[in-house]
Amino acid sequence: MKKTLLALLLLGSCASLAADAPRAAGYEPIWFTLGQFSKHGDKYSGGLGTYTANHNPMAVYAPQVDKTFFTYGGTPPGKRHLLIMVSCFDHKTGSVPRPVIVYDKQGVDDPHDNASINLDDQGYVWVFVSGRAKKRPGFKFRSKEPYSIAAFERIEEKEMTYPQAWCLPGQGWLHLFTKYTKGRELYWQTSADGKTWSADGKLAGFGGHYQVSHPCGKKVGSFFNYHPGGDVNKRTNLYYVQTEDFGKTWTTVDGQPLELPLHAIKNPALVFDFAAQGKLMYTCDLNFDRAGRPLLLYVNGRGHEPGPESGPREFCLARWDGKAWQTSVIAKTDHNYDMGSLWVSGNEWKVLAPTLPGPQPWGSGGEMCLWTSTDEGRSWAQKKQVTHDSPLNHNYARRPLNAHDPFFAFWADGNPDKFSPSRLFFCDSTGEHVRQLPATMATDTAVPALVK
C-alpha cells in the first residue's frame, strides 16, 4: 500500500516494527463539526472517532488470539484530517500497539467516512472504509496475515456509505450499506470469499434511510427510519427486516416475505408510525435476546435542533416478544445525537449511553451511564455513572462484536462547542474501570491508563 507523506511523518520512531502499514504515534480521534448552528449550538459536533451509529461493527473480539480488533477515525495531532485507523487490544498483556493507518482520506475531515471492521472465518482482518456518494469512494481492505494488523491490501473500490459487514460462519459476507441513488437508499451484497461479490440488491428507497443491523446465527436483522421528502431533519418511523438465507429473501419479524425494494411509507416492515406521533427516530443499536428475537435501541425526539425546545428526548427499546412489538423508555437524554449501545448477557440487558448532561450542556454527548434491566427490557435502572466530572462530553459508546472484558465498550470524548483534542476510552462490563488509550507512545506498545 502506498504510504502518503503525512503517514510517513506520523510513523516516527515505530519503524522498528518493520510493518508495511504506517503507524501513528498514538491514539488521536478526529474532531468534527457539522456546521449547522441554531440557538443551542451545532446540530452535532465533538469527538467523533467512533461515529456513526450506522458503521457496524467497529470492534470485534477474536477468542483465537484473545484480542479485540477495533477501528476509529483518527487525525494527526491538532489537525482535522481523517485517517482510517486500526488497532487491537491484547487481553493477555493488557496492552495496545501503535495504531495502523490503513488509509489516508487525503484531506477529508468528515467522520462519515469512518470505517467498520470484522474478521472472516480464517481470521483475516477486513476494514470497510465508508465513502460519500460518488464523489468520495469507499474501499475494502484485508490484512495480509490472519489476526494481524501489520499490513493490508486493497481489495475493492466501491460506492458505499455506512458499511455494515457481517461474516456468517460457513457462508461468507453479507454486507449492508447505503448509496445516494435517490437520497440515502439501502442496499446489500454477498460474497463467499470477500473478493468476488454479488450485484447490489436494493433493500429500501422511499425518501431516504439510516439503518443499523446485526447478526444472530444465520439471521441478519436491520432496522431503519425514513426521511419524509428526503429531509434528514425529519427522520421518523421505525422499520424492521431480516434475512435467514444469506440475503436470498427478506421478511418481517414474523416471517412474512417482503417484495423488494421497499418503496411505500406504509409497508409490512413498519413497526411504529412515529410520524403520526410527531416524533423523530435516531437509530443506535440492534441486538437479539436469548431466543433470537430482535431488540432495537433508538432515541426519540420532536425536533432536529439541539436544546430543550425539541425535547423531551428518550433512549427507548423496541422488542419483539414473539407475538407483538413492545416498547419501553430506558432514560431521558438531552441531545438527538447522544448514542449508546445494547448488550445482552443472560437475564441482564445493559445499555451504555451518555444519558447525563456533560460539561458542554445541550451539546452532543455527556457523561456515560450504565443502565440495566432484568425483566426483558420492561423496566430499567441506572446501575452506574461510568464517567464523572469530565472536562469534555463523551459520546458514541460502541459495542464490540463478541464483547469481552475489559474491552466491553469504547468511545471518544470532545468539546461539541469548539475545536478540541479528543481521546479514546474503553470500559469493562461493570462500568467500574475506565481506561484511556494513549495519545502519544514512547514505545511500540503501551498499557492504557486506568482513569477510573
8 A C-beta contact, residue 50 and residue 56: no
Q: And the C-alpha cell for 442? A: 514512547
Q: In the prediction, which pLDDT does 134 show?
A: 87
Closest Cα to residue 361, out of 306, 316, 322? 306
What does the pLDDT look like over 301-340, one tens digit per residue? 999 999 999 999 999 999 999 999 999 999 999 999 999 9
Predicted model pTM: 0.95
Residue 20 has a pLDDT of 80
CB contact at 8 A, 251 and 204: no
Annotate 291-303 with b (16+ C-beta within 10 A) or e (fewer): eeebbbbbbbbeb
What architecture (CATH level 2) is domain 5-450? 6 Propeller (2.120)
Look at residue 12 and tell me whether its pLDDT is greater than 50.
no
Quick check: helix, strand or coil at residue 356?
A: strand
Does residue 6 sit in helix, strand or coil?
helix
- Checking if the pLDDT of 269 tops 50, the result is yes
- Least Cα distance to 120 among 162, 170, 188, 68 occurs for 170
What 3-state class would DSSP assign to 180?
A: coil
pLDDT at 222: 98
With a CB cutoff of 8 Å and minimum separation 6, the contacts of 193 are 172
The predicted-structure confidence for 204-248, as pLDDT tens digits, reads as follows 999 999 999 999 999 999 999 999 999 999 999 999 999 999 999
Average confidence score pLDDT of the chain? 95
Question: What end-to-end distance do the CA atoms of the chain give, in Å?
Answer: 39
pLDDT band at 15 (very low <50, low <70, confident <90, very high): very low
- CB proximity list for 367: less than 8 A, separation 6 or greater: 354, 355, 356, 357, 358, 385, 386, 387, 388, 390, 394
- Model confidence pLDDT, tens digit, residues 156-177: 999 999 999 999 999 999 999 9
- Summarised one tens digit per residue, pLDDT across range 122-149 is 999 999 999 998 889 999 999 999 999 9
Of all helices (H) and strands (E), which one includes residue 7?
A: helix 5-11
In this predicted structure, the answer to whether residue 6 has a pLDDT above a threshold of 90 is no
* pLDDT at residue 133, rounded to an integer: 86
Residue 72 and residue 422: Cα distance in Å, rounded? 12
Q: How far is CA 182 from CA 162, 207, 231, 332, 362, in A?
A: 16, 7, 12, 34, 32
Write down the pLDDT at residue 452.
81
Distances (CA, A) of 20 to 100, 124, 239, 328, 444: 10, 16, 44, 49, 15
